Amino acid sequence: DADLAAKMGLDQKYRSIGVVSARTGASPQVMAVDEAVKATNTEVVSVEMPRDTKTGAGHGSLITIGGEDVSDVRRAVEVALAATPKMFGDIYANDAGDIEMQYTARASYACNKAFGAPIGRAYGLVCGAPAGIGVIMADTAVKAANVDIISYASPSKGTSLSNEAMIHISGDSGAVRQAVIAAREIGIKLLSTMGAEPKNQHPSYI
Amino acid sequence: DADLAAKMGLDQKYRSIGVVSARTGASPQVMAVDEAVKATNTEVVSVEMPRDTKTGAGHGSLITIGGEDVSDVRRAVEVALAATPKMFGDIYANDAGDIEMQYTARASYACNKAFGAPIGRAYGLVCGAPAGIGVIMADTAVKAANVDIISYASPSKGTSLSNEAMIHISGDSGAVRQAVIAAREIGIKLLSTMGAEPKNQHPSYI
Amino acid sequence: DADLAAKMGLDQKYRSIGVVSARTGASPQVMAVDEAVKATNTEVVSVEMPRDTKTGAGHGSLITIGGEDVSDVRRAVEVALAATPKMFGDIYANDAGDIEMQYTARASYACNKAFGAPIGRAYGLVCGAPAGIGVIMADTAVKAANVDIISYASPSKGTSLSNEAMIHISGDSGAVRQAVIAAREIGIKLLSTMGAEPKNQHPSYI
């Protein structure tokens, strides 16, 4: 509906809109949509990250994808849904909190829209909850390899008031991956001292 | 207390203040207070919608009612509390999320304060969580009948970062009701594909 | 890391940074850090209060402490952690909600940074959830003793959208304590009418 599209702030050029929406997890869906827009003739229209009581310390997600063609958008949503489980692979949680890592050798429109990642360059996310864990992980990551910090986010800025601290990093793909892996190691160690062994629910992909 | 009233931003003209406050549900309380201010010599002073871990994807509520007379305000609070269960009648939930519809043939001060509804006209709320469900419901509603969209709200605007998308609609009472009912149908269908049969805890009133 | 410190908005004068971070409770940690900075040569750099699904109606916390000397900062974190349980002493909860009181005869940098408390004067916090309880408690407190209201906070201002209303008060130490105790009495009474007897998990210290 054109009036609704206007109220939603959507560009009138999109004939079709797809929606990826979840109670739990924002970054996995962003990464999955990143794959989807690489694979299809579509664009990322908006990325929103709600608070939700299913999200623990973190976010849910509402991502809209636009295209001129219904079949393109439908395909993009299919690709995104298929890619989502993989992107949960480097989220480790126990009762005390959770840590979350993402990595791509080549960021596309979703990472750019959501996290300010330069398009075409390697991008990494290092995130921990409660937020204090994320601060230590961020410090460890940037000391482990020569990467650019795109931004730092914490409860009062760059998150939806969530109990997380995180950095978005960019740079050489090997360096970004090394930084993310160093953060994962310290994050698992920190969470382990506060509770049971942190587990991921899908195989690690980084 | 006058100093507290000033810090709370209350107009000094109110001799008495009543409070309707809940862990769960914002729109039912708003609709109930709408009935209350129609029935009494009181005004709606403020409507706030907190995040709360009891609210699932949505909001709690803090609504203040003001009046010159203590008995008027007390009566308004009584009317609001009595009307609240009815207003939960068109909230359907399962483990995957929930949908929420409200309707009045004649909006009053609470709907106006909270949602921008034109006073004296029909008002409808169409809301779904997770937010993606609300987007589809909104599109269905505005295609089902000729209504005015007052506003669209989503996690990053018009909500308290909640995992909901919604529209507030106004217009001819028959059209508003028809749009709301069409949204309810598609919303129940969408939720059903994601989990158990969605249930309402009070009888539907729309 | 200097780049990370810059992105975090930290003053470069701090050679060492300590972090106090929790899923549950903001004011206890603030009060505990207040004791810590009184006892050590450190400063409070920032206080953030995330929403978290472990926090019920309220907040978690992320507090950073800065100092020129690593051992000072480490000592401050140790003092803060040791003092935290005591500061949970006047939080009473049942299934319906919770109330939270804090008091110090002499506020220091953490109370100042987090709540605007004048340094060196008595400070008190009166807070209730759901927010309606906090409104009544606040009114009772300021009628019980001659205190200054530093500020009033509710879901839409001065909190992270939490379902709480609170006042921060200052003044003569006897008056602040008396106001806080009066609020505690009415708060326990209100919560009791809505559910089981409210309990504190540590001994009351006020």
- C163 and B51 within 8 Å at the Cβ level: the answer is yes
- B154 and A23 within 8 Å at the Cβ level: the answer is no
Q: Is the CB of residue C162 less than 8 Å from the CB of residue C128? A: no
| Beta strands at C91-94 and C97-104: parallel, antiparallel or unpaired | antiparallel
- Which residue matches tokens 């507030």? B168
Q: Is the CB of residue B161 less than 8 Å from the CB of residue B131? A: no
> Which of A173-182, B87-96, B123-132, C14-23 is least confident?
C14-23
Supply the pLDDT for residue C14.
82
Spacing of C-alpha C102 from chain mean position: 7
Burial of C206 (C-beta count, 10 Å sphere; 0-12/13-18/19+) = middle
- A131 and C23 within 8 Å at the Cβ level: the answer is no
Mention every residue, 6+ apart, whose C-beta is less than 8 A from residue B122.
Answer: B103, B104, B105, B106, B107, B170, B171, B172, B173, B175, B176, B177
d(CA C200, CA C65) in angstroms, rounded, equals 28
CA max distance for chain C: 54
- C135 and B50 within 8 Å at the Cβ level: the answer is no
CB-side exposure of A12: number of CA atoms within 13 Å?
3
What is chain A's percent helix, strand, coil content, to nearest 5? 40, 30, 30
Does the pLDDT at position C73 exceed 70? Answer: yes
**A58 vs B183: which has the higher pLDDT:** B183
CB neighbours (10 Å) of residue A194?
Answer: 14
Question: B70 in contact with C at a CB cutoff of 8 Å?
Answer: no
pLDDT in tens, C147-168: 999 999 988 888 877 888 899 9
CB contacts of A175 in chain C (<8 Å) are: none
Rounded mean pLDDT, B33-44: 82
Supply the pLDDT for residue C92.
93
Supply the pLDDT for residue C158.
81
pLDDT class of B57 with cuts at 50, 70, 90: low
C129 → chain B, closest CA residue: B23
Architecture of the C2-194 domain: 2-Layer Sandwich (3.30)
Supply the pLDDT for residue B53.
64
CB contacts of B167 in chain A (<8 Å) are: 4, 7
Does the pLDDT at position B24 exceed 80? Answer: no
Does the pLDDT at position C81 exceed 70? Answer: yes
The one-letter amino acid at A73: V
Supply the pLDDT for residue B141.
94
Closest partner CB to C48 (pick from A51, A54, A156): A156
The one-letter amino acid at B65: I
d(CA C22, CA C52) in angstroms, rounded, equals 10
Instruction: Note down pLDDT in tens along chain A; length 206 residues.
Output: 877 888 787 887 888 877 777 777 777 877 878 888 878 888 888 787 777 766 566 677 888 888 888 888 888 888 888 888 888 899 999 888 889 999 999 888 888 988 899 999 999 999 998 888 999 999 999 999 999 999 999 888 888 788 888 999 999 999 999 999 999 999 999 999 998 999 998 999 99
- B149 and A62 within 8 Å at the Cβ level: the answer is no
CB contacts of B49 in chain C (<8 Å) are: 155-156
Question: C37 in contact with B at a CB cutoff of 8 Å?
Answer: no
CB contacts of A133 in chain C (<8 Å) are: 21
Question: C143 in contact with B at a CB cutoff of 8 Å?
Answer: yes
> Which of B106-120, B131-145, C58-72, C185-199 is least confident?
C58-72
CA distances from B165 to A117, B87, B151, B154 (A): 27, 19, 11, 4
- A51 and B162 within 8 Å at the Cβ level: the answer is yes
Spacing of C-alpha A136 from chain mean position: 19
- DSSP output for C69-107: SHHHHHHHHHHHHHHHHHHTTTEEEETTEEEEEEEESS-
d(CA A188, CA A159) in angstroms, rounded, equals 22
pLDDT class of B48 with cuts at 50, 70, 90: confident
Rounded mean pLDDT, B104-110: 89
Closest partner CB to C51 (pick from A54, A162, A165): A162
d(CA C109, CA C99) in angstroms, rounded, equals 24
Supply the pLDDT for residue B55.
59
C136 → chain B, closest CA residue: B19
Q: Is the CB of residue A124 less than 8 Å from the CB of residue A179? A: yes
Structure tokens that stand for B11 in this block: 């107009």
Q: Is the CB of residue C161 less than 8 Å from the CB of residue A52? A: no
Burial of C118 (C-beta count, 10 Å sphere; 0-12/13-18/19+) = middle
Supply the pLDDT for residue B173.
95
Supply the pLDDT for residue A56.
61
* Nearest by Cα to A64 from A122, A126, A114, A102: A114
* Nearest by Cα to A191 from A50, A31, A54, A57: A57
Supply the pLDDT for residue C2.
79
pLDDT in tens, C106-146: 888 888 988 899 999 999 999 998 889 999 999 999 999 99
Report which secondary-structure segment, H or E, holds C188.
helix C173-194
Does the pLDDT at position C55 exceed 70? Answer: no
Spacing of C-alpha B187 from chain mean position: 17
* Nearest by Cα to C162 from C154, C173, C170, C174: C154
CB contacts of C51 in chain B (<8 Å) are: 51, 161
**B194 vs B60: which has the higher pLDDT:** B194
Supply the pLDDT for residue B184.
97
Question: A162 in contact with C at a CB cutoff of 8 Å?
Answer: yes
Question: C64 in contact with A at a CB cutoff of 8 Å?
Answer: yes
Supply the pLDDT for residue A57.
60
Mention every residue, 6+ apart, whose C-beta is less than 8 A from residue B189.
Answer: none
pLDDT class of C53 with cuts at 50, 70, 90: low
C65 → chain A, closest CA residue: A132
Question: C201 in contact with A at a CB cutoff of 8 Å?
Answer: no
* Nearest by Cα to A23 from C130, B94, C21: B94
Q: Is the CB of residue C138 less than 8 Å from the CB of residue C152? A: yes
A137 → chain C, closest CA residue: C4
Rounded mean pLDDT of chain B?
87
Residue ranges of E strands in A33-111: 43-48, 61-67, 91-94, 97-104
Does the pLDDT at position B181 exceed 90? Answer: yes
pLDDT in tens, B117-168: 999 999 999 999 888 999 999 999 999 999 999 999 988 888 878 888 899 9
d(CA A44, CA B134) in angstroms, rounded, equals 19
**Domain locations in chain A?**
2-194
ipTM score over 0.90, yes or no: no
| Beta strands at C16-22 and A91-94: parallel, antiparallel or unpaired | unpaired
pLDDT class of C59 with cuts at 50, 70, 90: confident
Mention every residue, 6+ apart, whose C-beta is less than 8 A from residue C189.
Answer: none
Measured in degrees and rounded to the nearest 5, phi and psi for residue B25 equal 95, 125
- Which residue matches tokens 């690709």? A79
